[in-house]
């Protein structure tokens, strides 16, 4: 038994994938505890978890590709509104609606990727902001697509409850989908960034010219980064409409894109765990913690100041904080040892 | 409607939107050049000044019957002094932002600076209801009169705004070209470290740029909110986003490029609905406009009026 644990269990526990699965399990536990947990904390955890997927995709773009895009909102919008349209008005099964959203987002993200080949830096941020504005305008203007720009499953028109494999899904059931997609998403991103693809993206970020000289295909990797971040954003949108049962074009504009950017930068652009923290700070902290103290408008201000302070003093992100704490503990341990056993 | 009336009304509406947009755009360009970041808080800085102006105007008189502020503007000073106060508040706010935040974040990367400006947006959004007591306020126009010129209605408020912004922008251009401050701004824009080595006090230049951008934003916000008749915390978002598009359309590399871009953008805003309405597609005019801007930027990535910067490897 002991040998089995040492040979099989411990290596498995040490693998990063184990941590990802734990996140999924925690999310499912949270779903089970829905009646016990305070509703705003529950809401904060769920909101964090679906926007975390968008953040993960965006991290690949920003942390590894070095492409500061402000178009995340467009993909979240594509996810939410495509699911809504295909599922409700074309009466397709749920999985096909999700697939349709993903296919559409791949097509659009390729357009984003081609733009990024010609424009870089701050200009790219503004151009992608324009592209996402175009997507939002199109969503607004296509009749029925958004059923009056704020439509959800509950408002107006023919109602169609969410059904998956013959079971009717409640809003909370979407949390199971989130758990599955988060675990898959984390594993895919982890595998990508520890493989040749991640190194290629990093080399492009550091110097396009040098990367091309080494035989890295700029077009291929840029498009890949955009497609993955687009698909992740779309999944976030799909999950958000499955949980919230509503979507509004006002929620996916510039402010949202900036929030995702902030989440990724606050957490640490290259760290899977850091982004989880960053997303919580941006989307969950206010709801879960500040609201409790009845701070009113002060909570907004505190949140803003917190963002500025973290970005200014922890340019590597919150994940850096953990590194610092670890170092501090190590130092303390050494000191303690010194006191106990004396210096060597 | 004849062709000339159409043309005149297009030019008039383009110029009128240009008057608000040019001020906001200039503020954004100034900060982009000196602090090398896209300032998402530009609109918020302006709105802060506009709220202050509205607050000071309201302070001048309270209706005895209802207890609500109701001001009758009898002399122009009743309007001008609060406006100057509002501009001063945005000026000081801009100064503080640079001194306390951006001076300490000078050598971080561009994304970090963007997030700082976003954090500022959140902070100011929270501050405004705390300071001024409400989220919406009344905005005040210079005058409600309208002139008719060859069949085109021209609100006098907008004409005054246009005149002010023209004078201000020409003044700033002269300053940029012929004064020591202007020389400092231009050198910091081209390379901050080298400018510092050459003996320019880059801290002062940066702080002043933020302050001036704040003041321009305040003027833009005041006149724009008066023109649209309402004022809320989110009023300036449209202007600010358009200012970004104008800046990339014209190209950030020169000071006049973004202003040219701003004029083209407002002209497009006036022309496209007129063209598309005959095909019954008027609601798509914004989409077409944005597409046109993106196509233009894709063809000329440095902007229509931009200079190409040769990168050394």
Residue B7 CA from chain centroid, whole number: 26
Residue A343 lies in a domain: no
Task: Output b/e per residue, B160-169; b: 16+ Cβ within 10 A.
Answer: ebbeebeebb
B252 contact residues in A (CB cutoff 8 A): 122-123
- Divide the 344 residues of chain A into consecutive groups of 10 and give the mean pLDDT of each group: 76 80 85 81 87 90 84 88 80 85 92 84 85 86 56 54 69 83 91 90 87 88 91 91 79 83 85 88 79 73 85 81 87 89 73
Average pLDDT on B133-149 reads: 70
With CB atoms and an 8 Å threshold, state whether B301 touches A307. Answer: no
Which are the contacts of B260, defined by CB distance < 8 A and separation ≥ 6? B250, B304, B305
Which are the contacts of B52, defined by CB distance < 8 A and separation ≥ 6? B82, B85, B86, B89, B90, B132
With CB atoms and an 8 Å threshold, state whether A265 touches B112. Answer: yes
pLDDT in tens, B217-254: 999 998 888 888 778 888 888 888 899 999 988 888 88
Please tell me the distance from the alpha carbon of residue B216 to that of residue B24, in angstroms, as a whole number: 6
With CB atoms and an 8 Å threshold, state whether A131 touches B111. Answer: no
pLDDT in tens, B266-304: 988 888 888 887 777 777 888 888 889 888 888 888 888
B68 backbone dihedrals φ, ψ, rounded to 5°: -95, 150
With CB atoms and an 8 Å threshold, state whether B284 touches A207. Answer: no
Residues in chain B: 313
pLDDT of residue A232: 93
Residue B166 confidence (pLDDT) above 60: yes
- Chain A closest CA to B251's CA: distance in Å? 9
Which of B118, B262, B291 should we substitute to test contact with A (largest number of A Cβ atoms within 10 Å)?
B118
In this predicted model, which residue has the larger pLDDT, B214 or B191?
Answer: B214
pLDDT of residue A148: 45
Closest residue on chain B to A301 (Cα): B123
The CATH number that applies at residue A235 is 1.10.3470
Average pLDDT, chain B: 83
pLDDT of residue B94: 92
- Chain B closest CA to A15's CA: distance in Å? 32
Residue B309 confidence (pLDDT) above 80: no
B294 contact residues in A (CB cutoff 8 A): 115, 127, 130-131, 134
pLDDT of residue A85: 80
With CB atoms and an 8 Å threshold, state whether B287 touches A315. Answer: no
In this prediction, the answer to ipTM > 0.90 reads no
String of DSSP letters for A41-94? HHHHHHHHHHHHHHHHHHHIIIIIT------HHHHHHHHHHHHHIIIIIS---H
With CB atoms and an 8 Å threshold, state whether B118 touches A307. Answer: yes
Location of structure tokens 């939002």: A136
- Chain A closest CA to B13's CA: distance in Å? 23
Residue B68 confidence (pLDDT) above 60: no
Domain that holds residue A170: 39-313
A208 contact residues in B (CB cutoff 8 A): none
Closest residue on chain B to A138 (Cα): B287
Which are the contacts of A290, defined by CB distance < 8 A and separation ≥ 6? A299, A302, A303
- Chain A closest CA to B28's CA: distance in Å? 13
Q: Which of A129, A138, A311 sits opposite B244 (nearest CB)?
A: A129
Contact of A307 with chain B, judged by CB distance below 8 Å, is answered with: yes
With CB atoms and an 8 Å threshold, state whether B248 touches A126. Answer: yes
Q: Which of B115, B130, B284 sits opposite A297 (nearest CB)?
A: B130
Contact of B105 with chain A, judged by CB distance below 8 Å, is answered with: yes
Closest residue on chain B to A282 (Cα): B119
Q: Domains in chain A: how many in total?
A: 1
Q: Which of B114, B286, B301 sits opposite A261 (nearest CB)?
A: B114
Predicted confidence band at B89 (pLDDT cuts at 50, 70, 90)? Answer: very high
B269 backbone dihedrals φ, ψ, rounded to 5°: -60, -30
String of DSSP letters for chain B? --HHHHHHHHHHHHHHHHHHHHHHHHHHHHHHHHH-S--TTHHHHHHHHHHHHHHHHHHT-B-TTT-SB-----STHHHHHHHHHHHHHHHHHHHHIIIIIGGGGTTS-HHHHHHHHHHHHHHHHHHHHHHHSSSEE----S---EEEETTEEEEHHHHHHHHHHHHHHHHHHHHHHHSHHHHHHHHHHH-HHHHHHTT--HHHHHHHHHHHHHHHHHHHHHHHHHHHS-EETTTTHHHHHHHHHHHHHH-TTSSHHHHHHHHHHHHHHHHHHHHHGGGT-GGGHHHHHHHHHHHHHHHSTT-TTPPPPPPP-
* 3-state SS, residue A149: coil
Provide the residue ranges of all domains of chain B, joining segments of one domain with +: 15-236
Q: What percent of chain B stands above pLDDT 70?
A: 88
Cβ contacts below 8 Å, chain A against chain B, sum to 131
Please tell me the distance from the alpha carbon of residue A129 to that of residue A16, in angstroms, as a whole number: 35
Which are the contacts of B13, defined by CB distance < 8 A and separation ≥ 6? B266, B269, B270
With CB atoms and an 8 Å threshold, state whether A118 touches B298. Answer: yes
Predicted confidence band at B93 (pLDDT cuts at 50, 70, 90)? Answer: very high
- Chain A closest CA to B150's CA: distance in Å? 35
pLDDT in tens, A95-147: 888 899 999 999 999 988 888 888 877 788 888 888 888 888 888 777 655 54
pLDDT of residue A160: 65
Contact of A148 with chain B, judged by CB distance below 8 Å, is answered with: no
Which of B115, B239, B304 should we substitute to test contact with A (largest number of A Cβ atoms within 10 Å)?
B115
With CB atoms and an 8 Å threshold, state whether A301 touches B126. Answer: yes
- Closest Cα to residue B212, out of B10, B66, B79, B35? B35
pLDDT of residue B278: 79
Residue A219 lies in a domain: yes
For B:108-147, CB contacts with A below 8 A are: 108-112, 114-116, 118-123, 125-127, 129-130
Contact of A312 with chain B, judged by CB distance below 8 Å, is answered with: yes
With CB atoms and an 8 Å threshold, state whether A262 touches B118. Answer: yes
- Rounded to whole angstroms, the maximal C-alpha distance in chain A is 79
Contact of B234 with chain A, judged by CB distance below 8 Å, is answered with: no
With CB atoms and an 8 Å threshold, state whether B126 touches A209. Answer: no
């Amino acid at each position: 038994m002991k040998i089995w644990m040492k040979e099989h269990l411990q290596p498995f526990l040490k693998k990063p994938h184990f941590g990802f699965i734990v996140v999924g399990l925690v999310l499912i536990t949270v779903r089970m505890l829905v009646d016990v947990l305070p509703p705003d904390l529950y809401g904060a955890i769920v909101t964090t978890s679906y926007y975390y997927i968008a953040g993960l995709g965006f991290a690949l773009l920003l942390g590894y590709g070095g492409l500061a895009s402000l178009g995340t909102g467009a993909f979240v919008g594509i996810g939410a509104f495509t699911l809504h349209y295909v599922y409700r008005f074309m009466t397709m099964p749920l999985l096909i609606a999700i697939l349709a959203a993903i296919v559409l987002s791949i097509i659009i993200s390729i357009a984003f990727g081609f733009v990024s080949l010609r424009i870089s830096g701050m200009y790219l941020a503004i151009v992608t902001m324009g592209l996402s504005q175009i997507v939002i305008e199109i969503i607004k203007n296509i009749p029925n697509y958004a059923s009056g720009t704020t439509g959800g499953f509950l408002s107006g028109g023919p109602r169609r409850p969410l059904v998956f494999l013959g079971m009717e899904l409640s809003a909370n059931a979407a949390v199971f989908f989130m758990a599955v997609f988060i675990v898959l998403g984390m594993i895919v991103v982890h595998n990508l960034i520890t493989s040749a693809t991640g190194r290629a993206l990093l080399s492009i970020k550091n110097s396009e010219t040098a990367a091309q000289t080494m035989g890295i295909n700029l077009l291929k990797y840029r498009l890949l980064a955009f497609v993955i971040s687009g698909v992740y954003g779309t999944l976030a949108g799909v999950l958000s409409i499955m949980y919230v049962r509503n979507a509004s074009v006002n929620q996916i504009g510039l402010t949202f894109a900036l929030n995702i950017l902030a989440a990724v930068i606050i957490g640490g652009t290259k760290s899977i765990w850091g982004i989880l923290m960053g997303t919580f700070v941006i989307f969950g902290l206010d709801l879960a913690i500040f609201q409790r103290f009845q701070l009113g408008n002060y909570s907004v201000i505190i949140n803003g100041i917190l963002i500025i302070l973290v970005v200014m003093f922890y340019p590597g992100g919150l994940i850096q904080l953990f590194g610092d704490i670890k170092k501090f503990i190590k130092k303390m341990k050494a000191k303690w040892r010194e006191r106990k056993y004396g210096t060597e | 409607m004849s062709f000339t009336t159409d043309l005149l009304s297009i030019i008039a509406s383009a110029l009128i939107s240009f008057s608000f947009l040019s001020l906001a755009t200039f503020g954004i360009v100034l900060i982009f050049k000196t602090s090398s970041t896209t300032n998402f808080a530009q609109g918020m800085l302006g709105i802060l000044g506009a709220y202050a102006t509205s607050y000071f105007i309201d302070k001048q008189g309270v209706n005895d019957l209802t207890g609500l502020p109701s001001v009758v503007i009898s002399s122009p000073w009743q309007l001008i002094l609060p406006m100057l106060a509002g501009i001063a508040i945005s000026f000081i706010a801009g100064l503080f932002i640079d001194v306390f935040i951006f001076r300490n974040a000078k050598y971080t990367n561009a994304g970090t600076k963007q997030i700082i400006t976003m954090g500022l947006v959140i902070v100011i959004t929270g501050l405004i209801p705390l300071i001024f007591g409400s989220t919406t306020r009344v905005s005040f126009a210079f005058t409600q009169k309208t002139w008719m010129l060859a069949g085109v209605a021209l609100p006098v408020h907008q004409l005054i705004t246009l005149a002010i912004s023209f004078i201000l922008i020409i003044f700033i251009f002269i300053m940029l070209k012929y004064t020591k401050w202007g020389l400092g701004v231009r050198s910091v824009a081209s390379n901050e470290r080298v400018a510092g080595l050459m003996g320019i006090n880059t801290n002062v230049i940066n702080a002043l740029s933020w302050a001036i951008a704040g003041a321009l934003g305040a003027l833009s916000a005041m006149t724009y909110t008066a023109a649209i008749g309402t004022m809320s915390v989110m009023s300036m978002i449209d202007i600010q986003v358009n200012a970004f598009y104008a800046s990339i359309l014209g190209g950030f590399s020169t000071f006049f490029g973004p202003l040219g871009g701003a004029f083209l953008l407002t002209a497009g805003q006036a022309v496209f609905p007129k063209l598309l309405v005959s095909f019954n597609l008027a609601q798509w005019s914004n989409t077409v406009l944005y597409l046109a801007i993106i196509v233009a930027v894709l063809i000329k990535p440095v902007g229509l009026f931009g200079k190409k910067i040769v990168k050394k490897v």
